[in-house]
Amino acid sequence: MNYNLNTLAEEKNKKKKFRFASLKSLVGHMVEEKRTLLIAFIAMFITAALSLTGPMLIGYTIDHYVQTKQFHGVLIFSGILLVMYVIALFSGYLRTKLMGSVGQRMLFTLRNAVFNKLQELPYDFFNQNKAGDLISRINNDTDKVNQFFSQSLMQFLMSVLIMIGSGVFLLSINFRLGMAALSPAIIIWIFTKFVSPWVKKRNSESLKTTGFLSSEVQESLNNFKVIVAFDRRDYFRERFKKANRKNYSASVKAGVANALFMPVYTILSNVGMLIVLTYGIYLISQGSFTVGFLISFIAYVNSFYNPLRQLASLWASFQLALAAWERIQKILSMESNMHVIESEEEEKTETLLTFKDVSFSYPNGTKVLNQINFNLKKGKTYAFVGPTGGGKTTTASLIARLYDPTAGKVLLDGKDIRSYSPSERMKKIGFILQDPFMFSGTIRDNILYGNEAYKDLQNGELAEIFRKSGLEKLLKRFDDGLETNVNVSDNGISLGQKQLIAFMRAILRQPELLILDEATANIDTVTEQLLDEIIQKLPETTTKVIIAHRLNTIANADVIYFVNTGEIVRAGSLNDAIDMLMHGNMAS
């Protein structure tokens, strides 16, 4: 299945459907904030209503009190205006405070939603997408959405509300003059409609290159030891420079696109003001208009076009937030293809695991396995050998259901492996990787990760379990035992020690099937012998699958399979396996 985030929704018709679904989903995330949003909307309406009433009262005061020199009335209406503006000040503050809290809660919820969705997606998803880009979506893109909600949304709606109110007042005071004043707004609307898709595209490209830049930085930092060892700082410097230059170019283009609205809106609003002054003075000279109404009219024209100038930057912010949200929504809309199917009737068999006509291809079309058939019996040890890239690790991943076959079926204990829940499958299958993953914390935290049976036990009780399992000697290799600190950001724990921790983590589960994928590649010979002794203490029914390049690790295997060029063939003996490795053919 294609999980590549950068190739989704590229077709034009799919984009439109995706954009609609994206906006609908964004609105859905606001439902939990409806009470706070309602109060913020009420505060916004109060602010807008008071702001729109002011110019009318000023015009009325000029015509009825200033021109007639009734200063008592001027003072009364000045007091009324002062009270109105103070109320507007407090309602505006309340609106800003409420929306700020909404934005922060949405940021918290969004980041949780994205991270939780990532936990649901299959292993294949992370093979097709760079970690740096995913981090950028969680951190950078969610923050862009938060900034719009906390800073721009209410201002955006406030501007629209004031514009509509100002337009209504303009047309009600003098329809012809109002139409003349609003005529430049038609040009603004047409300009915005045609330019907005281009602006959104520029912002989307800028966010995309930011994700790539983050990926490049992460890759360089993760591999810095290799960079230093091979003295290839220049290589990664050039890679970073290229990514940074691309991001710079995209950011400049996005900045130019976002800044395009402001000068156009400003010019056209000035044209509108010029029309009002010219036509208004003409109407006054004809005796069909008053000075007070002209001042009110000018104030309403300002109230109409000033929000438009604000909308120039707010619209760009909206386009940026929408582009960021679509990148987030691509993750949230994904569904795992690793579904749990209904359980079929269990086949009674001594075989623990079966491959039935299993084929597997990666999303890029590379076929790794072709109609593979084999059985793994309970209590036996199986070795898979073959050249690098032959398909050994892919086979192990299919056994552990990190992937599903593109054709055929994998049976575990006589049932389709897809019918087991992840927790059930985890109890049956243990997997020790060549490069095991550790969490920051203690060895205890790492060993008991996901182990419901032992998670509440005290260290003394665990020590007894370690002794019975033969793991006590391994634990003594760490100065502080279970409380030894594991910090993944430094080199306090070697790769070999990480493999020991992963080994203890898997053995404690007492799995029915134990997969060792180059699990002893970074461990010395003495420790390897100790691990072999521990494995021998597993129940007799435990099936072992060993994937190794070092042939001495598979010498005692009951069955050896040779994996290469899409085929898995049983080798008659260790010498046959060596011959196959030497000659690279599939002869048995």
* Structural domains in the chain, sorted by start: 5-332 (1.20.1560.10), 351-583 (3.40.50.300)
d(Cα 174, Cα 172) in Å, to the nearest integer? 6
- Tokens for 126, please give them: 């992370």
Phi-psi region of 441 (alpha: psi -120 to 50; beta: other; left: phi over 0): left
For the segment 512-522, the average pLDDT, to the nearest whole number, is: 80
Residues whose CB falls within 8 Å of the CB of residue 92, separated by 6 or more in sequence, listed in order: 43, 47
pLDDT at 489: 62
What pTM does this model have? 0.64
Q: Percent of the chain scored above 70 by pLDDT?
A: 85
Q: How many CB atoms lie within 10 A of CB 356?
A: 16
For the segment 174-194, the average pLDDT, to the nearest whole number, is: 81
pLDDT at 586: 44
Find the helix packing angle between 71-120 and 153-173, rounded to 10°. Answer: 140
Q: How many residues does the chain have?
A: 588
The candidate with the shortest Cα–Cα distance to 133, out of 249, 9, 4, 253, is 4
pLDDT of 244 > 70? The answer is: yes
pLDDT at 270: 80
pLDDT of 544 > 80? The answer is: yes
- Reported as a pLDDT band with limits 50, 70 and 90, residue 585 is very low
Evaluated on CA atoms 41, 47, 52, 53, the torsion sign reads positive
d(Cα 375, Cα 26) in Å, to the nearest integer? 49
Dmax over Cα atoms in the chain, in whole Å? 116
- Reported as a pLDDT band with limits 50, 70 and 90, residue 24 is low
Q: Work out whether strand 407-412 and strand 351-361 pair parallel, antiparallel, or are unpaired.
A: antiparallel
d(Cα 500, Cα 523) in Å, to the nearest integer? 8
Helix (H) or strand (E) holding 559: strand 559-564
39 touches 30 (CB < 8 A): no
Query: pLDDT tens digits for 410-436?
Result: 988 888 888 888 888 888 888 887 777
Residue 277 phi/psi, 5-degree rounding, is: -60, -45
pLDDT of 120 > 60? The answer is: yes
pLDDT at 11: 43
DSSP state of 156: H
pLDDT at 347: 62
d(Cα 320, Cα 307) in Å, to the nearest integer? 19
Query: pLDDT tens digits for 457-484?
Result: 887 888 888 888 778 877 888 878 888 8
d(Cα 103, Cα 105) in Å, to the nearest integer? 6
pLDDT at 12: 43
DSSP state of 63: I
pLDDT at 168: 84
pLDDT of 22 > 60? The answer is: no
d(Cα 48, Cα 554) in Å, to the nearest integer? 79
DSSP state of 420: S
Residue type, position 235, single letter: Y
415-416 sheet: strands from edge to edge: 367-377, 351-361, 407-412, 415-416
pLDDT at 20: 52
d(Cα 142, Cα 111) in Å, to the nearest integer? 7
DSSP H helical segments within 429-573, as ranges?
A: 443-447, 459-469, 472-475, 495-507, 525-536
The candidate with the shortest Cα–Cα distance to 434, out of 544, 521, 503, 509, is 521
Partners of 416 in beta bridges: 411
Cα R_g (the chain), whole angstroms: 35
| 3 state DSSP class of 378 | coil
d(Cα 101, Cα 348) in Å, to the nearest integer? 59
pLDDT at 588: 38
d(Cα 384, Cα 418) in Å, to the nearest integer? 23
d(Cα 121, Cα 212) in Å, to the nearest integer? 21
Evaluated on CA atoms 20, 22, 27, 32, the torsion sign reads positive
pLDDT of 222 > 50? The answer is: yes
- Sequential DSSP letters for 157-173: HHHHHHHHHHHHHHHHH
- Tokens for 187, please give them: 């040009």
Q: Percent of the chain scored above 90 by pLDDT?
A: 1
pLDDT of 290 > 70? The answer is: yes
Partners of 515 in beta bridges: 431, 545
pLDDT of 450 > 60? The answer is: yes
First and final CA of the chain: distance in angstroms?
34
d(Cα 489, Cα 491) in Å, to the nearest integer? 7
d(Cα 121, Cα 118) in Å, to the nearest integer? 5
